[in-house]
């Protein structure tokens, strides 16, 4: 059974803290994604990666960075957390960059609250 | 950024009713259309992916159609059941490499027993 796991379901941090959200997939997928989901705004792409050490900005990359040192792991980093980064964060992966009809497999999400 | 819109935002139906909702997307920059189901406290799961004008897909009581010329897709649920309660997301993928899909805001369906 395919699986995308995220390090935490719930996380509470303080303004200014550095926050790491970890995502691991066990499907040998090439592509990995980080989204945030806010009420009324749907899923918005923060960053994605199509290969180890490769990354591309999504639609809302400001205030975030990412790291992909191994194929199975994609980390989202909030360098200095702010209250407007309180959100649900979803990680996803998909098989291959060349086939844009590949479905994405999602993790369970991390609900981050920044106080 | 592609503008992918879904309507209605939310929907309440009685158990046994059939229902449908719409996803619209810019037809000028289109390659594939995805539908996902997102149940509360779970991860979004893929339902369908369609690429060709006139495509129709079916999974049990759920089906979807695609019109790429006018830029819309319909999702139909026949004989809704409480377990169909979820948010249904569509996502449009452009041509070319880099699978950067754009998601709509979803239609939240509540099936009342």
Reading the block at residue A23, the tokens are 């995502």
pLDDT of residue B103: 92
Average pLDDT value for chain A: 92
CA distance B95 to chain A (A): 7
Does the beta-carbon distance from A104 to B46 stay under 8 Å? yes
pLDDT of residue B57: 94
Give tens-digit pLDDT for B83-106.
Answer: 999 999 999 988 876 657 889 999
What's the rounded mean pLDDT across residues A61-75?
96
pLDDT of residue A39: 87
Average pLDDT value for chain B: 92
Pick the residue from chain A with its C-alpha nearest to B97: A98
CA distance A82 to chain B (A): 24
Does the beta-carbon distance from A102 to B43 stay under 8 Å? no
Does the beta-carbon distance from B100 to A98 stay under 8 Å? no
Give tens-digit pLDDT for B16-32.
Answer: 999 999 999 988 888 89
What's the rounded mean pLDDT across residues A88-107?
84
What's the rounded mean pLDDT across residues B5-24?
96
CA distance A106 to chain B (A): 6
Does the beta-carbon distance from B43 to A106 stay under 8 Å? yes
Q: Is pLDDT at A64 greater than 50 in this prediction?
A: yes
Q: Is pLDDT at A1 greater than 70 in this prediction?
A: no
In three-state form (DSSP H/G/I as H, E/B as E, the rest C), the secondary structure along chain A is CCCEEECCCEEEECCCCCEEEEEEECCCCCEEEEEEEECCCEEEEEEEECCCCCCEECCCCCCEEEEEEECCEEEEEECCCCHHHCEEEEEEEECCCCCCCCCCEECCCEEEEEC
Burial environment of residue A15 by CB neighbours within 10 A (0 to 12, 13 to 18, 19 or more): exposed
Does the beta-carbon distance from B103 to A42 stay under 8 Å? yes
User: Which of B43, B89, B99 comes nearest A94 by C-beta?
Assistant: B99
Most confidently predicted of A48-62, A78-92, B41-55: A78-92
User: Which of A97, A101, A107 comes nearest B51 by C-beta?
Assistant: A101
| Confidence band for A22, pLDDT divided at 50, 70 and 90 | very high
Taking only residues 12 to 51 of chain A, the set having a beta carbon closer than 8 angstroms to any beta carbon of chain B reads 31, 35, 40-45, 48, 50
pLDDT of residue B1: 47
| Confidence band for A42, pLDDT divided at 50, 70 and 90 | confident
CA distance A63 to chain B (A): 19
pLDDT of residue B31: 87
């Amino acid at each position: 059974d395919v699986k995308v796991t995220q390090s935490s379901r719930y996380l509470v941090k303080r303004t200014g803290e550095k926050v790491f959200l970890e995502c691991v997939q066990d499907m040998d997928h090439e592509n990995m994604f980080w989204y945030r989901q806010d009420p009324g705004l749907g899923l918005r792409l923060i960053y994605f990666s199509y290969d180890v050490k490769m990354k591309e900005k999504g639609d809302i990359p400001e205030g975030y960075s990412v790291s992909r040192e191994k194929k199975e792991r994609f980390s989202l980093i909030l360098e200095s957390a702010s209250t407007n980064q309180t959100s649900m964060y979803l990680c996803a992966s998909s098989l291959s960059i060349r086939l844009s009809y590949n479905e994405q497999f999602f993790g369970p999400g991390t609900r981050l609250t920044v106080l | 950024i592609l503008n992918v819109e879904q309507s209605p935002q939310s929907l309440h139906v009685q158990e046994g009713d059939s229902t449908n909702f719409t996803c619209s997307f810019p037809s000028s920059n289109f390659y594939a259309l995805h539908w996902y189901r997102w149940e509360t406290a779970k991860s979004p799961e893929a339902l369908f992916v369609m690429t060709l004008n006139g495509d129709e897909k079916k999974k049990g009581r759920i089906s979807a159609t695609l019109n790429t010329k006018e830029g819309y897709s319909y999702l139909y649920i026949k004989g809704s059941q409480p377990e169909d309660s979820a948010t249904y997301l569509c996502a449009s993928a452009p041509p070319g490499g880099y699978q950067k899909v754009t998601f709509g805001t979803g239609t939240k369906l509540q099936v009342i027993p």
